[in-house]
Amino acid sequence: MPRFLRSRTHGVIGRNELEEFIMEPSEWMTDYFDKQKSRNARLKISFKRNKTGILNALREANIASAELNYDGMGDSGCLESASFYSKDNKPTQTPECSVAIEVFEFGATLIERKSMPISEALETIAYDALEVHHPGWEINEGAYGILRIEVEEGTMTLCCSLRSTDYTETEIGGDE
């Protein structure tokens, strides 16, 4: 380790002072998981409030149900499509309405309330729900599924199918 480092905010930092700023891996991992736990708790509370606003907006737009399809693997994922259905279960266009929801940006400490198109609000809560209930859905083999919304029942159900790889090695040609 160098004897000193230059810092924009603190001038020259000596070795002893620098060691105070460096966290051990177990410390920063604990810090990360504590922050993630706090974020998830806030997202769950925010989700309940957002759910009410979104259901009301869909109800006013005469939408009976909606399905948001998502898919992810290889360290990326996205919402692929959204389908909306009328009360007679016929497909209909994406509603042209807006709703105010709470948005909690990653790394932020405050929740903001923003008005946005219903399609953007649905995307926001879908990603939040995936983050809380299926973290890592987009990593490696990934996962796919549907966020199903039943407006009159007041339900939002997240269906998630996880992909996995199974590996088997068998020695052949010997005594079996």
Provide φ and ψ at 84, rounded to 5°.
-125, 145
pLDDT at 131: 87
Domain range annotation of the chain: 25-162
More confident residue, 12 or 114: 114
pLDDT surpasses 70 at 36: yes
Please name the residues in contact with 19: beta carbons below 8 A apart, sequence gap of 6 or more.
none
Order of strands, sheet of 143-150, starting from the edge strand that comes earlier in the sequence: 91-92, 76-85, 65-73, 143-150, 155-162
For the chain, give the mean pLDDT.
85
CA atoms of 68 and 80, how far apart (whole Å):
8
Report pLDDT digits (tens) over 60-92. 999 999 999 999 999 999 999 999 999 999 999
pLDDT at 23: 62
Report pLDDT digits (tens) over 107-126. 666 788 999 999 999 999 99
pLDDT surpasses 70 at 100: yes
CA atoms of 24 and 30, how far apart (whole Å):
10
More confident residue, 146 or 5: 146
Which of 13-17, 19-23, 117-121: highest mean pLDDT?
A: 117-121
pLDDT surpasses 60 at 49: yes
